[in-house]
Amino acid sequence: MLIDMVKSFVVGIFPRSPKLINIWKAYERGEVTEEEFKDSYLEHIKNVVDIYIEGSLDVIHDPQSNWHDHFRPFTYFEGLEAGPLTRFYENNTFYRRPIFREIPKFSEAVLKDFLSKLFDSRVDGISIPGPHMWITHSIFKGVDKLRSIEILLEEVVRYLVDIGYRWVFLHEPSLVYYGDEVSRVEKLYKGLMDYRDNIVVYTYFGKVNDVLNYLGSLGFKFSVDMRWNSIRDLSSFSKGPVILGIIDGQNTLLEDPEDIKRFLVDKFGDDEIWICNNVDLDFLPYDYALKKVWILSRIGGG
Amino acid sequence: MLYTQEIGSIKKPRYLIDMYKLFLNGQVDYEFLRPYIEAASLDTIRMLEGAGLDIVYDGEMHRWEMYYHPITFIDGIEVAGYVRVWDNFYFLKGRVVKRPRLIKNYHLDEALFILRQANKKVKIPVTGPYTLADWTFNEYYRLNKGYEDPVKVDYEAKYEFSLDLARNIINPILKELSKLDIFRIQIDEPAATTHPNEMDIVVDAFNKSVEGVEKDVSIHICYSDYSVLIPYLDRFKTVQYTLEFANRDSWGLGVDDESRPGYTLLRELVDYGYDFELGLGVIDVHTDKIEPPELIRDRILYALKFLPPEKIYINPDCGLRTRSRDVAYVKLRNMVRAVEMVRQIL
């Protein structure tokens, strides 16, 4: 396999460094100024982006390290709020369920503090919850579910693409953990068809299913979690749109880059293949997340 | 009947937290830390006895917390670093790099101290093997297993790790503790129902842990989907399930179904043919709001519709470490008062 046939990149929230964690806690206790806190955060982001660039990754994903969870920044939109702390699937990790009280009002001012693209032009990828994840994990108080999600996502994705994010990763664990009917998924994705060249449907915590096949047929690229799927499970898919989440973001065990290259050659020959982490590296301590970036870089020829 | 007990943790006094931090940063040694631990331990035992509990413990003063404490005494598990639990809250997570071996019974000194000091029956909580495995990165058992059938490989690696922890770590600890004058050992398995497809591992690891242990062992599982647990209840070699209810309940008085929505599980347990003791959670540990004795009384009276009094133990939903010691004391005192009311009714 030619090395440049493997495209590799990191997806999702990158963990905070121990230094940033401590400064964050000190900031919450009122022991450092807002300026010191912001400087520290910007330094962290720059370091992570530098590492992605030096590793020649094919997508420079926004580290999003000031996102408390995937939903949180959006809960500051008018009409939305952060609800109860809830376990995130089968993990010792918790998020706040969004509560929709009315159709959310998009606000650039709210988002700007959470988007690294606005101060580092090298960044070209970002992760946000996909429509299925929104509808599965939110609480709706007297508002139309589909309509709320449709309006919210159309506006958010359009804005992200407009400001220069080339890749928008729609996190969709619920699509493969719970499954769903093709017809409902079609409704959820209808409003995003114009952006399908920019979108990757990023799935994890479950086995691939017909719904993904359907999204692939609409032209959406999607990724699969290789902790839940074997290559055998992917046999019903055309190779093109599938991205392999093969680097384990939930285990500190370090993959051997050469071992994975051999595996990819064996299974895909000379076809171009895209690989990434199977879940956010935020499930790992910072030092191990850095090691996983190095592994992805080595496999991709960086 | 209707024995009252705490579950495990109580908030540490400030002086002990500060001293633990110095110890964890390597600035003082354990011998320097020990008197602070013992002072807080004694203070907590007296606090629980003062609240009127029938079964006491020391609120985990001998442990920094329920995961970090055990792994520092297990050869084969190394600290990997901080992993986020939510927002900017983290826990130190370990990684297993070789087959685990017990360095030292990490609950023996604690148990001996508590037994010397306590004037009531003593319970010792022990973090269970499945939770230790679930909260640890599984490197050793996952190594060189390839990518062909990842789900099967992960399951088998988790099974082997959990059973090794049960066999090599927890079982010897329990056997040694069971020779002491302890009333009850409680295995804490908060992770038990996290992965529904791994319930066989939870059961087998628990049963391996208690093999040959000559003392009654209970199991505490909280903030869980109990519908996952119910089909497995008969398979655990336990005398008591200690469960959380109050968190799901209303604050109105009453002993009818409508007044007690948090306790619907009781009917499911009876339908299942439940014949164990039940540790009934009657205190919500996630709020400073104090439950009045009358509310707790009604929760107990409702439970008595389903189980006889000799099968019911009364406790908070979980450890009270997230509440101030003052709030914890008043909540426990009210719990004891409520039991006194019920005993009079009976």
pLDDT tens per residue across span B267-278: 999 999 999 999
Residue pLDDT, tens place only, B148-179: 788 899 999 999 999 999 999 999 999 999 99
| pLDDT tens per residue, range B224-242 | 889 999 999 999 999 999 9
Q: Give the pLDDT of residue A302.
A: 65
The predicted model gives B78-105 an average pLDDT of 96
Give the whole-angstrom CA distance, residue A82 versus residue A72. Answer: 7
Chain B residues within an 8 Å CB radius of A15: 83-84
| C-beta atoms of A253 and B147 within 8 A | no
3-state DSSP call for residue A224? strand
pLDDT at A15: 98
Tell me whether residues B88 and A68 touch, CB distance under 8 A. Answer: yes
Per-residue model confidence (pLDDT) at position B200: 98
What is the per-residue pLDDT for B90?
94
Q: Which of B147, B151, B202, B228 to mutate to test the interface with A (most CBs of A within 10 A)?
A: B147
Q: What pLDDT, on a 0 to 100 scale, did the predictor assign at position A186?
A: 87
Considering CB atoms only, which of B80, B82, B90 is closest to A252? B80
Interface-testing mutation among A31, A92, A265, with chain B (most B C-beta atoms within 10 A): A92
Q: Give B145 or A182, the one with higher predicted confidence.
A: A182
Contacts of B80 in chain A (CB under 8 A): 252, 284-285, 288
The reply to whether A230 touches chain B by the CB within 8 Å rule is: yes
Q: Which of A90, A227, A287 sits opposite B195 (nearest CB)?
A: A90
Which residues on chain A are in Cβ contact (under 8 Å) with B77?
Answer: none
Interchain contact A25–B (C-beta under 8 A): yes
Pairing assessment for the beta strands B184-188 and B74-86 based on DSSP bridges:
unpaired
Low-confidence ranges of chain A (pLDDT < 70): 1-4, 235-241, 302
A229 reaches B (C-beta below 8 A): yes
Residue of A nearest to B142 (CA): A253
Q: Where are the domains of chain A?
A: 3-299
Could you give the domains of chain B? 1-62+107-127+244-346 (3.20.20.210)
B85: nearest CB among A92, A251, A288: A92
Q: Which of B139, B154, B191 sits opposite A227 (nearest CB)?
A: B154
| A251/B91 CB distance under 8 A | no
B177-204: pLDDT as tens digits: 999 999 999 999 999 999 999 999 999 9
B72 pLDDT exceeds 80? yes
| pLDDT of amino acid A216 | 86
Q: What is the pLDDT of residue A241?
A: 57
- State the fold for domain A3-299: TIM Barrel (3.20.20)
Min Cα distance A10 → chain B (Å) is 18
Task: Please give the residue of chain A at the shortest CA–CA distance from B196.
Answer: A90
Q: Is the per-residue pLDDT at B58 higher than 70?
A: yes
Nearest Cβ partner of B81 from A94, A232, A285? A285
Residues of A in contact with B139 (CB under 8 A): 251-253
| Contact A227/B at CB under 8 A | yes
3-state SS record for chain B: CCCEECCCCECCCHHHHHHHHHHHCCCCCHHHHHHHHHHHHHHHHHHHHHHCCCEECCCCCCCCCCCHHHHCCEEEEEEEEEEEEECCEEEEEEEEEEEEEECCCCCHHHHHHHHHHCCCEEEEEEECHHHHHHCEEECCCCCCCCCCCHHHHHHHHHHHHHHHHHHHHHHHHHHHHHCCCCCEEEEECCCCCCCHHHHHHHHHHHHHHCCCCCCCEEEEECCCCHHHHHHHHHHCCCCEEEECCHHHCCCCCCCCCCCCHHHCHHHHHHHHCCCCEEEEECCCCCCCCCCCHHHHHHHHHHHCCCCCHHHEEEECCCCECCCCHHHHHHHHHHHHHHHHHHHHHC
Q: Which of A228, A246, A283 lies at the smallest CB-CB distance from B83?
A: A283
CA distances from A189 to B55, B65, B260, B335 (A): 57, 45, 42, 52
For B86, the closest of A16, A95, A288 (CB atoms) is A95
Is A92 within 8 Å of B91 when comparing Cβ atoms?
Answer: yes
Q: Cα distance from A21 to chain B (closest Cα, Å)? A: 7
Put simply, whether A235 touches B (Cβ < 8 Å) is no
For residues A147-174, b (16+ Cβ closer than 10 Å) or e, as one string? ebbbbbbbbbbeebbeeebebbbbbbbb
Give the pLDDT confidence score for residue A236 in this predicted structure: 64
pTM, 2 dp: 0.93
Q: How many CB pairs lie under 8 A apart between chains A and B?
A: 82
